[in-house]
Every structure is written in C-alpha cells, then in structure tokens.
Structure 1
Amino acid sequence: MRSGADRVLVVGGGHNGLVASILAARTGARVTLLEAADHLGGASVGSRVFAGHPVRLSRYSYLVSLMPQQLIDELGIDLTLLSRDVSSYTPYRRDGVPGGLLVERKPGPATSASFRALTGSDREFQAWQQFYAECAQMARVLAPALSGPMRTRSQVREAVVAAAGPQLWTDIFETPLGVGITRRFDDDLVRGVVATDGLIGTHTSLFDESLLANRCFLYHLIGRGTGEWLVPMGGMGAVAEALTARAVEVGVQIVTGARVVSAGEDTDGVRAATADGRDFAADVLLAAVAPMTVQQWLGRPAARPVGAQLKINMLLDRLPRLASGVDPAVAFAGTTHLEEGFDQLEAAYRDSAAGRISSPLPGEVYCHSLTDPSILNGHSGATLTLFGLHTPDALFREDPETARAQAAEAALAALQLHLAEPLTDCLARDANGRLCLDVASPLDVEASVGMPGGNIFHGDLSWPWLDDEVDPTPAQRFGTQVPGCTKILLAGAGTVRGGGVSGLGGAAAVDTLRAGRPTG
C-alpha cells in the first residue's frame, strides 16, 4: 500500500466497513474493525423478527442494485443474486373499476396490453420504452464511473449525451425530475410510477430546484450497468454474513461493543476513543459511518440529515387477494406501487412539509420470499415489505409512538384499498398472539443502526463526478474526503458515490489509500 498505512482502523461494521476491512487487509495492512453494536452487518443484518417463527428478515435493507460484480469477485465472497420476473405492478381504480399496470422485467405483450388497458392507447407504452431505453444506455456508461477515480462533470456529460442523447441529460441532470416526467408522459399514474425512484429515502418535491430527486433517481437506475434490482439469496443477511466470514478469513481484528465517541489525527497517525474508555491508534482511519458522525467525533457542528421512509415488515400465512383479480404471486413479485400517482406523491410531500402524515400514504411493497423462499426457513406463508414515502423524521420527534402508529395505519390503508379481503385475515401471528407487523420510523432506524435522522443514504446523495475546475487530492478523486483531515477518510454511504447497498464507499476508501497518502 503506497500510502505507508501499515495499520488501518475501520470504524463501522456495516457492509461498507466490512468491505473496507477486507480490501485493506488484502493489501497487507493490519486492520482493526470497531463496531458499536454487539454484531456486524449494520442495516444489512438478517434476524428473526417475529417470535415463534424461523423466518429471517432484513429489517431495513432489502435488495442489491449498485454492488458491482467486479467488487464481489475482488472481495472473494460467495453471493447469489436472483432476478425478479416482474419489475412492478400498480393497482388502481378508475371509474370505480379496479385494474393494474403490469411492467415485466423485460416488457413484452403483457406489459403493452396493461398500458393500453390503463390509457386506451399505445402512446404511454411507447414513451415508456423510449425513456427507459435511454436510461439503459445511460446506465451502461455511468455504472463504471461509480468505481475507481471519479470523472469530471464534463466527461460524464459527454459520455451520457453520446450514449443516450442530450434530452436525457437535460431531464436527469439539469432540470427538476418532475419537469422531464410530465413532458414525456401524459398519464398521472404512469408519471407516478416513474417518479418513485426519485423519492425512496429522500424527502423532496419532484420540482425542487436542488435536483435531489434527480440524484436519487439516478442511483436507482444505473446499478450494475442495467439498473436491475436483484434479490440476494438468503436475504440481505446473507450479504453481511458472507462479508463477515471473509473479514475473519483475511485476518481482520474485529472489536464489537466499541462505540467511538471521538477521533483525531496528528503527525503520528490517528486515534479513536470509545464510550467505555478504550483508545485505538493507527496510521489511517476509514470511517464507515455517516459524515455527520465523523464531524461529531472531531468536535465540529454538523447538520442532521433528513430520513424520510417508513418501513413495515410483515409475515403472512398467505398472500392477500387483490381487487383487480391479478394473481398475488405476480402483483407482489416485483415492486407493488400503492397510491403513487404523480399528483398523490406531490400532495404527500406538501402534507409532510406542513407536519402532517398523508392518509392513505403513498408507498411500495414487495415479497422477497416469492423470489427467494429460503428466508422462510420452512414457514408456509410469505413475507411482505412496505416502504412508506414522505415520512420525514421530524414528524416523529414530538410523539414517536403515536406518529409511528399513525404512519403505519396510513401506509397499510394504501395497501388495503386494493385488496379483495382484509389484510389482517392473511397476517400471521407471533408466539404471543400479536399480528406479525414490524414497523420502523426513521427515528427507529437511527436508534437501531446509528444512521443520523434515519437517513438510509447517510445524507443527501451527490452527483457521481468531480467539478471541472477542481485539481483533486486523492481523497477528493475518490470521493472520500473529510474536510480538514489528511488521515481520516469517509468509507460509508456518505462518500460521494456510496449511496445504497453497494460497498462502493468502503472500496473507494481503500482505493484512496492505494493512490497515495490522502491530503485534505
């Protein structure tokens, strides 16, 4: 390792911290990994959530899109990723008649017919095909730019325009996402289905000039060069377990129950102190935690990120029947969009910005166990995972218990609107006779896995490039810089290209070390 970093301290034992630890150890460094919890895996851990049932759920994270196969191979882990035949299903009612918009993973006649039934023509499906063909071209050229040294904005623009055309560049990178969507599509429901990829985990209007929704949309569409979201066999816990086993195998010293409360650096290296009075020293520190947490270690003020998603895990004895009559095994195999028309999404944002929880709450749900029955461990039913949108952490701070219950009721109401039977008739019960519903607000995510504000991206997502005028340091070139530091690097989702379950943040930190001693 040309940086001379013989001793590497990694703080944070989620998937990014494990990735950083493995890659650093493989360079020959002596690696110590500190984790505040009594176990590794962070938000990717699998657990038996419901008493009396052997089902293993990932409480917070669910699918894999952004982790490149090249990184999986470099880590040397055995990870099986499965495709879903259905991309999405969106139930609706028009003139009181239930229906559903089906989008296959590879759209064919069934998808075409579904669009025609919704809109009465082929125009929306043609617009859909055109838009996502352009997005696919963008994904092919941008996915490689998520690893290695960052390209400049001009280089990214040149590649995207050459592959997908100038209009897509404008729609994704220069004007609010809502502008491009409403220009390309006429139907409110179709517009909403497109828009949701710009909102998961993000609290913003589709017309906000900050383009936060655009950045979220981008990362949802470019993973692995295809944008396809894959199901890890064994659940997300299988990812954490594979990484943990590999870290042990390559000699990483793992210390759990070590919550870092301060850190600093000097000419001799770095040091970190834990809440129970222990001190750790190394040549460099790779921080696989939120940037706000690093600033707190350093005694600096930092703004708290906004988390904005409600998560509900369910265990069912059987999947519920839908009012549209579609096979539940089709409707829930991909992403099932609930009350996510374009206007509904904007109205829910306005409600949340005004301090209210929309009801019914827009959200989406899917069934992991349809693609990967192994997580059931013999249970004969099914799992459902629901994400409610526009539920910022501020809504839960005054009265967390009441707000959580209200948000869960509003989210489940969006599902019940499209069912042909009561959801409660299908839910399993745990060993204590309670319905198998596990509800987590952003505050619960913060308390459980240490993500400030419950923000699953550790902060606002960044564009995956360098500004053209920057003469970058190694840390800037890989998106890992902590301002004012030379030996402490970001290594988590808060790196410039680290959002999502990707491992890219941990890999970027080690790439920085390989490139040379980072400078602030």
Structure 2
Amino acid sequence: MATRVAIVGGGHNALVAAAYLAREGHDVTVLERLDHVGGAAVSGRPFPGVDARLSRFSYLVSLLPPALATDLGLDLDLRSRPTASYTPYDGPDGAGGLLVETRPGPATAASFRARTGSDAEYDAWQEFYAGADDLAEALAPTLLEPLPTAEHARALIGPAWWADLTQAPIGSALERTFTDDLVRGVVGTDALIGTFASLHSPSLRQNRCWLYHVIGGEWRVPVGGMGAVTAELERVARAAGVRIVTGASVRSVEAGDGGARLISGAGVLEVDWVLGAVAPYTLAGLLGDDPGGRPQGAQVKINLVLSRLPRLRSGIDPRVAFAGTLHLAESMTELESAQAAMSADPRAAVEQDGTPCPGEIYCHTLTDPSILGTDLAASGAHTLTYFGLHQLEEGLADEALRERAWRRFLASIEPHLAEPLEPLLLRDATGAACVEVRSPGQIEEELGMPGGNIFHGDLSWPWLESGRPGVPGSPAHRWGVATEHPRVLIAGSGAVRGGAVSGIGGHNAAHALLEML
C-alpha cells in the first residue's frame, strides 16, 4: 500500500520532494495556496502591454546540484555570464570601474591594477578565490547526502577556512586579506544577500550566508526565466503522478504518531506524513506550536524595463558592465554604514533621499533575450533587476517610503551614469513607468514568506550541530529535515542546507522519508 504524503506549499522544493516520492510509488498531494506553483521561482508580466516575462523574485541559479537535475530529468538551459561583476567608482583620475570577468584574464588584472596601483590586490583576490573554489568543491558533494559531522566538515575544508568561517566574523578575514575598501566590499556582499548583519557580527549569520553563496559555484541565468525552472519541476512531478492542488491554503495541521490531518481550502486530508515546504515559522503556526521569533527580511527588489541600457561615465561598454552583477555603494565602509543606519532608525535611513543604498543590479536579457517578445527584443530594450541590501520593512512600509527607496536607488546609480536613467524607462499600457518595487512586507504578502525573509529564516551550517530537532541519529535528524513532530518533516528553504533555488531541501526531505519507509 502506498504511503500517503501531503506537502504544504508548492514552491520548487515541494515539487522536487514530490517528484522523488511519487517515483517510488507513494501517493503525494501538493497543497498550494496560490493559483500556481513555484513560490519565488516564477516569471510574470508585471507591466500591462509590455511583453517582458520577468523573474520577479528569484532570478539566478547556483546551488541546484547537477546530480539532482540529472536524477529528475530536468531540461534546463543555465547559461554563464561573461562578466562576474563590475563595480563603478570615482577615483582621483575620474570615473573608473572594477571589472571581474567570469573567467578572469588580462582585463581583470588591468582593472585591479588601475584601482590599486599594483598587482598585489589581484594576487590576493586570486589566492582567496582559489581557496574558496577548493572549499566549494569539498562541501558541494555533501549537500545531497546525510549531514557530515562538524569534525568531518572541518577535515574537508581545512583548519584555516574552518577558523575564518566558524571562529570569527568574516569581516576579519576580509580585512586581513585585502587592503582596498572597495574590494573588501565586493567580496563581502555575498555574505549579506538576504541577511541583515554587519560583516563583523558575532552571530556569524553573514559567514553562513557567504558560505552558501560560494558553495554552489557560478551563478547562472535560466533561459526563459525562473518560470522555466518551475515549469520543468512541475512537468516531472506531474509525470510521476503527483497530485497538485492550487488555491488550497492550509489552515491547520494536526499531527500524531500515526499520521496527520490537514484542513485546507480543498477540504480535509488524512495522510501518513506531512512535508512542510513553507517556512518553519509558518509550519509551527499550522501545527499549533510556538513559532518563536519572526524571521526578518532585509531587501528591496526593483524590476525595470528600459528602452536601452544606460551609458556609464567610465566609458565601459554597458553590455560588459551590466552582463554580470553591477555593484553600487558596496565598499565595506558603505555596507557597514548602511547596516548601522538601518539598525538605528529604518525610517530615517530610507528618508535620506540623497544617500546611496548598497545593492546589486543584474540584466537577464543580455544573456537571455528570450524573456522579451520578438518586437521588444528587436527594439534594443533590456530588463534590469536591483537587489538593495540592508532594507528593513519598517523603512518601506508604505507607498511613500517605497518611493523614497526608488529615489535612493537612483542616487546610487546615476552618479555613475553618463545620462539620467528615468528617461530610458519604458511606459506600460497605462502610461506608467515600468518600475516594480517590492519590499519585505510585499514579498511576505505575495509569497507567504514570513517577514519577507528569502531564506525562510537564518541559514544553518551545512553539517550536524547540537540542538537540532529530532532524535539524534534518526534519518530526519541526519538529513537536517526534522521537526518536533515525528510525522512532519521540513522540506523547504528552512531545512538545513536550504535557501536559494536549489531543490536541496526537497531532495533531502524526500530521501529522509524514503529511508524511514
């Protein structure tokens, strides 16, 4: 007799878990509150009359393991970007920019030399990222296996990296390794995407965030947008026999030793097991448990459609500068100052119209123009996505404050442009500029992520730690998906090794359950 499994939430992790379980002959139902699956991994047309399918929330893929994609038979085209990053700055000789190619060559070396006056900083950069590559190569294979012990993880990555990651804030390592404030910041931003913390925070939240951002390797562009990733996952899940019910918001979960009872918009469902592909905070509330502290998101997301890419004061070809991640106001000093100001008074921080806001810009259409309609692509139009750091909901809670966040974005980018940005914005069918601003609160409202936290909560170290839920040594504990309820597992980004569009949380919950059946 097939085991009955209900998965709460229909994001990418839910579809991964569902596909694995259904392929083993189990009876799997996915319950999703929205009218579509995919969670944050979706594409949409937010601007009426503009034929652009934007990755409105998640937008790049890194941690999705090739082995998982192969197992599920996913037909995905994930493309490299020729530029890793470009960081414009004003120097003593005028406008410049730090260029880092995806495959660093003479242009990258020359860019570091122009910035710092010697090759020493570039040599330090190369050595640092060679070590980071070794770190990623050592840990990546463990992501689809039961959690290694801390001792095993330390042996894999070596005592030097272990000390820098687990014994002290990563800011200390950056200050020891690099001398240039801008270079320190460019490296440090990977520690802050989706994480509100100082680079010197004793919590080490930023260290864990940095680790996950490098462990998956290169961040690539999904052809067709993030919606194409979800479409493939939905295809393989349905082909395996998964039953997907949309418009079925789960209101409560009653779990016992013998199974569970779910009440949702689709009615009452009796099952043997429940997988929660929602945030642990949300799942705890459904179970009637104390959810603990509410997660906190700290970013503003701005989607744009332009008639063409803007010219930069440095003179670099915009097709090079915007082809990767373009950093704005992300020197280490600026990152630390922005975090301190937002901590002190979120509203006052946002109301400083002329103060640049640290953030990153990404252009999907330079790598993949297929998200644009034929005529729009031929016109030279491009999309831009801005991810602003250190932006708490308290500072973005109403339309007037979100307008100020937009003005702060302009204050961040326009000093580096040879022309104003706003005249380049396309207009939609209503005459409005093609600008979409999303705060943590709006992300929570649209996606159900508590606090708008894109990781469903603080990231965990990718190894066994004491104090984790579940019976030590049990499959759920060893795979990092246990809850306090024996018939309920975490299958989303809140699982150990969750976060980002990776499918790892769903894969690991499914494999833990298969091990128990």
- Output the amino acid matched with 2:358: P
Residue 290 of structure 1 is matched in structure 2 by: 279
Shift of the alpha carbon at 1:98?
0.5
**Aligned residue number for residue 131 of structure 2:** 134
Q: Does 1:207 align with 2:200?
A: yes
Letter aligned with residue 93 of structure 1:
D
> Are the equivalent residues in 1 in contact too, given 2:258–2:487 (CA < 8 A)?
no
> Match of 1:260?
250
Decide whether the 8 Å contact of 2:45 with 2:54 is kept in 1: yes
- Indicate conservation of the 8 Å contact 2:22/2:241, yes or no: yes
Pairing 1:216–2:189 present: no
TM-score, scaled to structure 1:
0.95
Match of 1:228 among 206, 218, 223: 218
Structure 2 residue 3 is the aligned partner of structure 1 residue 6: yes
Is structure 2 residue 317 aligned with structure 1 residue 316? no
Structure-2 residue corresponding to 1:111: 108
* Cα distance, 1:271 vs structure 2: 1.3
Question: Is residue 498 of structure 1 aligned with residue 495 of structure 2?
Answer: no
Residue type at the aligned position of 1:391? Q
1:81 is aligned to 78
Partner residue in 1 for 2:369: 373
* Contact kept in structure 1, 2:33 and 2:249, CA below 8 Å: yes
CA distance in 1, matches of 2:453, 2:467: 30
Is there any run of 5+ residues in structure 2 with no aligned partner, and where? none
Find the counterpart in structure 2 of residue 480 from structure 1. 481
One-letter amino acid of the structure 2 residue matched with residue 99 of structure 1: G
Deviations 1:165-186 (A, max 9, x none): x333222222101000011000
- 1:41 maps to 38
Structure 1 unpaired stretches of 5+: none
**Aligned counterpart, 1:335:** 325
Alpha carbons 1:152, 1:468 under 8 Å: kept = no
- Structure 2 residue 268 is the aligned partner of structure 1 residue 272: no
| 1:17 corresponding residue in structure 2 | 14
Task: Report if the CA contact (8 A) 1:157-1:169 is conserved.
Answer: yes
CA contact (8 A) 2:2 2:25 kept: no
> What's the offset of the Cα at 1:95?
2.9
- Residue 194 (structure 1) aligns with: 187
In the alignment of these two chains, the number of paired residues is 503
User: 1:174 and 1:5 mapped to 2: Cα distance?
Assistant: 47
Task: State the shift of 1:265 in Å.
Answer: 1.4
User: Aligned residue for 1:514?
Assistant: 514
Q: Secondary structure at the match of 2:57?
A: coil
Q: Distance in 1 between matches of 2:416 and 2:240?
A: 50
**Higher mean C-alpha deviation, range 339-348 or range 407-416:** 407-416
Contact 1:315 1:428 survives alignment (8 Å): yes
| CA distance in structure 2 between the partners assigned to 1:475 and 1:30 by the alignment | 20
Helix, strand or coil: the match of 2:416? Answer: coil
Are the aligned partners of 1:204 and 1:212 in contact in 2 as well (CA < 8 Å)?
yes
After superposition, give the CA deviation of every residue in 1:9-36 in whole Å (9 maximum; x if it has no partner). Answer: 1111111111111111011001111000
Q: Which amino acid aligns with 1:342?
A: M
Contact kept in structure 2, 1:154 and 1:468, CA below 8 Å = no
Greater Cα offset, 250-259 or 130-139: 250-259
Q: Percent identity?
A: 52
Contact 2:88 2:96 in 1 (8 A): yes
Moved over 6 A (4+): none
SS at match of 1:121: coil
Select which of 341, 354, 359 maps to 1:363: 359
| 3-state DSSP of counterpart to 1:265 | strand
* AA partner of residue 90 (structure 1): T
Which digits, 9 at most, give the CA deviation of each residue in 1:248-284, with x for residues without a partner? 211111111111111021243111112x471111110
* 1:167 matched residue in structure 2: 160
- With the length of structure 2 as denominator, give the TM-score of the two structures: 0.95
CA RMSD, aligned part only? 1.4
Deviates more, 1:192-201 or 1:237-246: 237-246
Asked if structure 2 preserves the Cα contact closer than 8 Å seen for 1:369 and 1:375, the reply is yes
Deviation at 1:350, TM superposition (A): 0.4
Q: Mean Cα displacement is larger for which, 242-251 or 199-208?
A: 242-251
Query: 2:389 maps to which residue?
Result: 389
- Written as runs of structure 1 = structure 2, the 5 A alignment for 1:425-444 is 425-444=423-442
Question: Whole-Å Cα distance in 1 between the matches of residues 327 and 477 of structure 2?
Answer: 38
